Amino acid sequence: MAEPGLPETGLTEPGPAEPDTLRLFFALWPDDATRDALNRTGKWLHLHWGGRRMRADTVHITLAFLGSTPVEQLGSLVACADAVQTDAFELILDQAGYWRHNRIGWLGASRTPPQHLELVGALNAALQGAGFAVDARPHVPHVTLLRNSAGGDVPECTPVRWPISDFVLVASRTDPDGAHYEVIRRWSLKN
């Protein structure tokens, strides 16, 4: 019922409707210390290349991008991730990169550990097996730090040592002030 004096609009009904699709992706999500270190590199790269820095709480590495997904398929996605049994590892991010086609400045790894490729391979194989459309392009592990950036000479970056013991499923929502991410669930890697 509307409050006294307010017109009967129907807008006071309880709760907004739950969405029937979510924009989803699997990712590596940094611990606090790694996030701080990535953020310092973001500031350093921004001094050289300009553009828009990613908010500190959004930095990540995408492992598999699903895009808009019906919520009924969440159970199937969880089963895919449950099937991944690869080892924990350390990723050393020591190499800045710039992609001209999308004006993104990023931090990546001069050497990708085999465990990282095994994780991406196992996850994408499980997703593909369950009928999800996954990216066929070779995976380049990278943390996007700058958008709409000019790029330029590649500066030396202090290596960021990222201990990776789990991966996450994330829902992405785009608001006028940029992307907002919500970690929905987390899976441990083998120690």
Interaction site with ligand ATP (CB under 6 A): 23, 25, 62, 65, 135, 144, 172, 174, 179
- Shortest Å distance, C-beta 64 to ligand ATP: 8
Q: Which is nearer to ligand ATP, 87 or 103 (CB)?
A: 103
Q: Which is nearer to ligand ATP, 4 or 176 (CB)?
A: 176
**Tokens, residue 94:** 């020591």
CA dihedral of residues 103, 47, 56, 64 (deg, nearest 10):
30
Q: Which amino acid is at 56?
A: A
- Shortest Å distance, C-beta 62 to ligand ATP: 4
**Tokens, residue 101:** 């086609």
Per DSSP, helices labelled H in the chain are 32-49, 74-82, 114-129
- Name residue, tokens 């994780």: 119
Task: With H, G, I as helix, E, B as strand and everything else as coil, classify residue 71.
Answer: helix
- Shortest Å distance, C-beta 144 to ligand ATP: 6
Q: Which is nearer to ligand ATP, 23 or 103 (CB)?
A: 23
- Name residue, tokens 């049994």: 85
Q: Which is nearer to ligand ATP, 85 or 102 (CB)?
A: 102
- Shortest Å distance, C-beta 86 to ligand ATP: 20
